[in-house]
């Protein structure tokens, strides 16, 4: 079962990335990356984690995704040949910003 979920996560990630790249447009200078997908074991929901660069445009990017959620969901549904079709939701991936904070703390500790 875990292998199936992993394959579904990869498939949704690939399709979501492709749809966002080709179907959506963000203001100039905003880059959005699909980092990972977590699908629930019952295949009902898929959380798509994204990172946004520059970080000050995070709210803008998430609001843009929220406005286009039905279009994105519809395109993913067309491309997936499975039942049930997971309902997608977008979340912000904060791994990189947390890593930056930890790195700064380690540098400070090394200085002292």
> Rounded to two decimals, what is the model's pTM?
0.81
Q: The tokens 């200078």 sit on which residue?
A: 29
Helix (H, G, I), strand (E, B) or coil at 31: strand
> For residues 73 and 88, is the Cβ–Cβ distance under 8 A?
yes
Tens digit of pLDDT at every position of the chain (112 positions): 689 899 999 999 999 999 999 888 888 888 899 999 999 999 999 999 999 888 888 899 999 999 999 999 999 999 988 888 999 999 998 777 677 777 778 878 878 7
Asked whether the beta carbons of 21 and 63 are under 8 A apart, the reply is no
Give pLDDT, residue 82. 84
Structural fold of domain 2-111 = GMP Synthetase; Chain A, domain 3 (3.30.300)
Nearest to 109 by CA among 101, 17, 79: 101
CA distances from 29 to 6, 23, 108 (A): 32, 17, 32
């Amino acid at each position: 079962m875990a292998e199936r979920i992993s394959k579904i996560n990869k498939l949704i990630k690939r399709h979501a990335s492709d749809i966002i790249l080709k179907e959506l447009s963000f203001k100039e200078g905003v880059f959005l990356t699909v980092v990972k997908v977590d699908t629930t074991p019952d295949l009902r929901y898929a959380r798509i984690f994204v990172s946004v660069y520059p970080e000050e445009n995070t709210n803008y990017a998430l609001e843009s995704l929220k406005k286009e959620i039905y279009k994105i969901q519809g395109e993913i549904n067309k491309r997936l040949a499975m039942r049930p079709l997971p309902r997608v939701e977008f979340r912000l991936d904060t791994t990189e910003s947390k890593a930056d904070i930890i790195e700064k703390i380690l540098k400070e500790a090394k200085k002292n």
